[in-house]
Amino acid sequence: MKLFSNNTLLVILVLISGYGYVIGCTHENLPPPAPASNTPVIVHGSDILLPGEMTKGDTTQWKLDKVHSSVLWSGSYIGAAGLLTGRFNQFGMHDVKDPEKTYYVTKAQPLMDTSWAFYENAPERTYFNGYVQINTSNTGEPGRDTGCNITNLGTIKIISGSQNLTDSNLAQIHSTKVEFDTQSQDYIVTFNLTWKGLLSAPLTQSIVGRLKYIKKAVVGAGTTAPYSVFGLQLNFQFDCRDFGITSTSISDKIDIECNMNFNNK
C-alpha cells in the first residue's frame, strides 16, 4: 500500500512537471505583447455654434456676451520678477474692413460681433475674427493708462463718447487654419495678427495659438427663461519689438488670453 502511494505520487509529479514544461515552451513561442499606445483617445462632440444676426430672443443665434468676456495681456517687468498685466476694455469679434476703420460716435461697440463660427467636430470650418482698441488698455493705474501707455503703444487718448477703430488704435486677429490638437481636446489655431504699434504702417504676422472650447451648457434651469452658454478661450504670445515697441519697462514677449463667452438669449 505504501509502495503504491509512492509510485502514484511520482507519476503525479512527472505529469505536473511535463505540463509546466509544455506551458513554458508555449509562452516562449508567443510574440511579445504590443507596447501600450501613448496617444490619448479624444472624442469630440458635434456642436455647431453660429452667430446669425444676433437677434435678441432668437435661441438659434449665439451672441457674444461682452460683459462677461475679456481680453487680457501680460508681460514680464524688466528688472523684476513680477508681471505687468492689463486688459482691453473695448473689443469685438468682427472682421474690420478699411471703410469701417474710423471714429464712431457711440458708447457701445459699433460693429456686430458676427465674424465667427465654431464646429466642434469640423475644425476646418471653424473661423473667427477679432479686434481690440489699443487705447482702452486698462492696467488699473489711470496715470499709466492715459500717460506712458498711450505714448509707448503709438496711439492717442480716448475721446469721450466715441469708439476709435482707426488703424493707429486697432489690433486685429484673423484665423487662417484651425485643426485638432492630437494631445488634448483643444484646437491649434494659425491666425494673422495685424497691428501698427510704433511702425509707419500696420504689420501682419502669422501666429500659432491654442483654442479651448468650454462646452455648451444650460443655465437658469427650472426658471421661466433658461438659456444656454458656451465659451471659447484663445491663448497666444507675440514679440512686441516686431511692432516697434521700445519701452524698457516690459520684456519682448507678450501673452494674450481672450476669454469669449456666448449665450443664446
* CATH fit for domain 48-263, picks 2.60.320.10, 3.40.47.10, 2.40.128.110, 2.40.30.10: 2.40.128.110
Angle at 82 between CA 81 and CA 84, to 5 degrees: 135
> In angstroms, rounded to a whole number, what is the distance separating the alpha carbons of residues 193 and 242?
11
What pLDDT, on a 0 to 100 scale, did the predictor assign at position 81?
77
pTM of the model: 0.83
> In angstroms, rounded to a whole number, what is the distance separating the alpha carbons of residues 28 and 129?
61
Give the three cell numbers for residue 171.
489690433
Reading phi first (left if > 0) and then psi (alpha if -120 to 50, else beta), residue 224 is in: alpha
Instruction: Quickly list DSSP for 147-203.
Output: THHHHHTT--PPPTT-EE-SGGGEEEEEEEEEEE-TTSS-EEEEEEEEE-TTSSS-E
Give pLDDT tens digits along the chain (265 positions).
Answer: 444 455 554 544 444 455 444 444 455 555 666 655 667 789 999 999 999 888 988 999 999 999 999 999 999 998 787 899 999 999 999 999 999 999 999 999 999 999 999 999 999 999 999 999 999 999 999 988 998 889 999 999 999 999 999 999 999 999 999 999 999 999 999 999 999 999 999 999 999 999 999 999 999 888 888 999 999 999 999 999 999 999 888 999 999 999 999 999 9
What pLDDT, on a 0 to 100 scale, did the predictor assign at position 15?
46
C-beta of residue 116 within 8 angstroms of C-beta of residue 127:
yes
Q: What is the pLDDT of residues 155-171, one digit of tens each?
A: 999 999 999 999 999 99
What pLDDT, on a 0 to 100 scale, did the predictor assign at position 163?
98
What pLDDT, on a 0 to 100 scale, did the predictor assign at position 7?
57
> In angstroms, rounded to a whole number, what is the distance separating the alpha carbons of residues 186 and 204?
25
Place of cell 464646429: 119
> In angstroms, rounded to a whole number, what is the distance separating the alpha carbons of residues 263 and 180?
24
Among positive and negative, which fits the CA dihedral 245, 243, 259, 91? positive
C-beta of residue 145 within 8 angstroms of C-beta of residue 88:
no
Q: What is the pLDDT of residues 60-102, one digit of tens each?
A: 999 999 999 999 999 999 878 789 999 999 999 999 999 999 9
Which residues sit opposite 30 in a β-bridge? none
Strands 203-219 and 127-133, sheet pairing: unpaired
Residue 116 CB neighbour total at 10 angstroms: 22
What is the phi/psi pair of residue 192, to 5°?
Answer: -95, 130
On average, the pLDDT of the chain sits at 89
Q: Which sequence spans correspond to the domains of the chain?
A: 1-34, 48-263
Which residues sit opposite 162 in a β-bridge? none
> In angstroms, rounded to a whole number, what is the distance separating the alpha carbons of residues 175 and 208?
10
